[in-house]
């Protein structure tokens, strides 16, 4: 009766594996994100082995499935320190996973003659193998991330060096040609001044010549008008003389 009361609510009593790692998950900033993926995989495995847990409820074997994982969680919480880095934690997980697999396989070989313990340790061995596989996936992902980060860092440093070299080359060019640029600028300014002075002189000369031509034209116009008036007066006098002469012949 005591055993039945102990194992009756198996589905409720066996908390999800993630719940065993609650304390560790509260410090998730200190561990890589791949560890959370590992716990997700373990929780899915636990849900898939519920029939094995039901057989455990009727077995004489008194070790619920959550007990070894709780021990693993306590071991991780005792070992992890605030100063641990992601790489150190992954190395530690790898060492612990290998030792756990060896221990579980040893116990599995020792209990092959018992059906229910064999199923339990078979499940634990399968979960440990899955954990080892997931850890390998996490390590491979971590290595790829490191390779990508190294490649990006090298590309950044290469671009930075190229930019510095280009700036140095431009600065050297400016320094080497500064004197030539300065003298060319001075010559250009002098030439502009000469052209401007020549233009002013031409404008002044044109203005003087124009004034002279205007005065000469005015003088010629006055002289032509005076000559025209003289010619008109002479023509009138000639007409008068001719008229008098005609009158004399008529008389």
DSSP state of 61: -
Query: What are 21's two structure tokens?
Result: 């790692």
Are 131 and 97 spatial neighbours (Cβ–Cβ below 8 Å)? Answer: yes
pLDDT value at position 223? 85
pLDDT value at position 105? 75
CB atoms within 10 A of CB 132: 16
Q: pTM, whole model, 2 decimals?
A: 0.27
Name the residue among 19, 20, 18, 15 with its Cα closest to residue 36: 18
Low-confidence ranges of the chain (pLDDT < 50): 1-14, 81-84
pLDDT value at position 86? 61
pLDDT value at position 7? 40
Quote the CA–CA distance of 189 and 227 in Å, as a whole number: 57
Report the chain's C-alpha Rg in angstroms.
57
Residues 179-226 pLDDT 10s: 777 777 788 888 888 888 888 888 888 888 888 888 888 888 888 888
Residues 63-82 pLDDT 10s: 565 666 667 666 666 665 44
pLDDT value at position 58? 60
pLDDT value at position 243? 80
- How far are the Cα atoms of 33, 89, 91, 150 from residue 139, in angstroms, in the given order? 11, 11, 9, 16
Our CA angle for 156, 161, 162, nearest 5°, is: 100
pLDDT value at position 6? 40
């Amino acid at each position: 009766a005591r055993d039945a009361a102990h194992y009756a609510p198996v589905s409720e009593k066996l908390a999800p594996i993630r719940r065993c790692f609650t304390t560790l998950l509260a410090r998730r900033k200190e561990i890589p994100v791949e560890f959370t993926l590992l716990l997700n995989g373990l929780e899915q495995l636990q849900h898939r082995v519920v029939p094995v847990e039901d057989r455990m409820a009727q077995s004489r074997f008194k070790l619920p499935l959550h007990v070894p994982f709780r021990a693993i969680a306590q071991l991780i919480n005792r070992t992890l320190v605030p100063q641990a880095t992601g790489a150190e934690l992954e190395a530690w997980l790898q060492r612990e996973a290998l030792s756990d697999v060896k221990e579980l396989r040893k116990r599995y070989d020792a209990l092959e003659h018992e059906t229910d313990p064999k199923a339990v340790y078979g499940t634990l061995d399968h979960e440990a193998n899955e954990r080892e596989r997931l850890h390998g996936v996490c390590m491979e992902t971590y290595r790829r991330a490191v390779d990508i980060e190294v490649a990006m860092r090298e590309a950044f440093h290469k671009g930075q060096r190229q930019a510095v070299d280009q700036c140095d080359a431009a600065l050297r060019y400016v320094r080497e040609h500064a004197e030539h640029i300065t003298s060319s600028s001075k010559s250009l300014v002098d030439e502009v001044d000469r052209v401007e002075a020549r233009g002013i002189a031409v404008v002044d000369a044109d203005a003087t010549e124009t004034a002279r031509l205007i005065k000469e034209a005015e003088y010629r116009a006055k002289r032509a008008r005076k000559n025209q008036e003289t010619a008109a007066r002479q023509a009138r006098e000639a007409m008068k003389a001719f008229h008098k002469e005609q009158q004399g012949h008529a008389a």
